[in-house]
C-alpha cells in the first residue's frame, strides 16, 4: 500500500468512527454534512482525533475546508508535511 | 488538592437533581482527578418504584453514572483553564464506554478521570469508575465543548 493509500485508509477509519458509519461507506469526495448529516461537533471530533493520532496542530479555521475525506487528507497533509 | 461540595457548586452550574458529584478527593489540573459520588436510596431516580419490585430495579441508571463521570471531567477541565476563561463545558459525545456492573444505593463510586486532549474549545477525557476494588465502568473517550453561558441559559 502506498503512503497515500495508507493515510487515506487511516483517515477513513477515523471519519467513519466519528460519523458512525462503516469505513467502506465513506466515499472520497462525499460531503460529510450532506451525505452523513455531520454537524460542527462531529467536525471538531474528527479534527481532534487527527491531531492526536498524527501529533499535528491544525487551526480550527481549517474546519470549513474539511468537508470530505479527500479535503481532510489535503489539509492534514499540509500540516503534517506529508508528500503524498 | 481536594474540593469540598461547596467548592464543586461554585465551579459547576448543575443543581439538584442533576448535580451528581459529592466531592473531589484529588486533582492535578490539566492531568487527572478523582471524584466521589455516593448513591443513596432517596435519589429521585428511585422515586415511584412499586413495592415488591425486584432488587435490580434499584441499579443506578447508566445515564446518570455517565453524567456523573462527565461532571468529574468538567471539573478537571474547568480547573485546567486559564483563570477568567468564559463559557461552560457541554457534554457532547461518549465513545467506547463499557459498564461492567451496576451500582446500588449505599455504594460510593469513585471516578478516576484523565484529561487526554484539549483542542480549541473542545476537551476529551477518559477513565474509569470504581466501587472499592471493583471497576464498574470504563470510559474510552468523553467529549465536551465550550459554549457561552448565555447560550446555555437561553436554551434552558
Residue B156 has pLDDT above 60, yes or no: no
Q: Does B142 touch chain A (CB under 8 A)?
A: no
Q: How many CA atoms lie within 13 A of A59 on its CB side?
A: 4
From residue B127, alpha-carbon distances to A2, B86, B139 in Å are 36, 26, 5
pTM for the whole structure: 0.86
Q: How far apart are the first and last CA of chain B?
A: 33
pLDDT bin (cut points 50, 70, 90) of residue B39 is very high
CATH value of A3-80 in 3.40.50.300, 3.40.309.10, 1.10.1200.10, 3.90.650.10: 1.10.1200.10
Share of chain B above pLDDT 90, in %: 80
User: Which residues on neighbouring strands pair with residue B117, listed in sequence order?
Assistant: B124
pLDDT per 10-residue tile (average), chain A, 84 residues: 93 95 95 91 90 90 92 96 90
Backbone region of residue A37 per phi and psi (left: phi > 0; alpha: psi in -120 to 50; beta: other values)? left
Delimit the domains of chain A by residue range.
3-80
pLDDT at B152: 65
Q: Which residue of B has its CA nearest to A40?
A: B145
* Tens of pLDDT, residues B80-133: 988 778 888 889 889 999 999 999 999 999 999 999 998 877 899 999 999 999
Domains and CATH numbers, chain B: 5-155 (3.10.129.10)
For an interface test with A, which of B120, B123, B147, B151 has the most A Cβ atoms less than 10 Å from its Cβ?
B120
Amino acid at each position: 500500500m502506498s503512503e497515500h493509500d495508507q493515510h487515506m485508509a487511516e483517515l477513513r477509519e477515523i471519519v467513519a468512527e466519528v460519523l458512525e458509519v462503516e469505513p467502506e461507506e465513506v466515499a472520497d469526495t462525499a460531503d460529510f454534512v450532506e451525505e452523513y448529516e455531520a454537524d460542527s461537533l462531529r467536525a471538531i471530533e474528527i479534527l481532534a482525533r487527527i491531531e492526536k493520532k498524527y501529533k499535528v496542530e491544525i487551526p480550527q479555521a481549517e474546519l470549513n475546508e474539511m468537508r470530505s475525506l479527500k479535503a481532510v487528507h489535503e489539509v492534514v497533509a499540509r500540516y503534517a508535511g506529508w508528500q503524498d | 488538592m481536594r474540593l469540598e461540595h461547596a467548592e464543586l457548586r461554585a465551579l459547576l452550574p448543575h443543581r439538584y437533581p442533576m448535580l451528581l458529584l459529592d466531592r473531589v478527593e484529588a486533582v492535578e489540573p490539566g492531568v487527572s482527578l478523582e471524584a466521589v459520588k455516593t448513591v443513596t436510596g432517596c435519589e429521585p431516580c428511585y422515586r415511584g418504584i412499586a413495592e415488591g419490585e425486584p432488587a435490580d430495579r434499584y441499579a443506578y441508571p447508566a445515564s446518570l453514572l455517565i453524567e456523573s463521570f462527565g461532571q468529574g471531567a468538567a471539573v478537571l477541565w474547568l480547573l485546567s483553564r486559564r483563570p477568567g476563561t468564559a463559557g461552560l463545558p457541554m457534554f457532547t459525545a461518549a465513545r467506547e464506554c463499557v459498564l461492567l456492573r451496576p451500582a446500588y444505593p449505599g455504594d460510593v463510586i469513585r471516578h478516576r478521570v484523565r484529561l487526554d486532549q484539549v483542542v480549541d474549545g473542545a476537551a476529551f477525557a477518559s477513565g474509569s469508575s470504581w466501587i472499592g476494588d471493583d471497576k464498574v465502568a470504563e470510559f474510552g473517550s468523553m467529549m465536551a465543548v465550550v459554549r457561552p453561558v448565555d447560550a446555555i441559559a437561553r436554551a434552558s
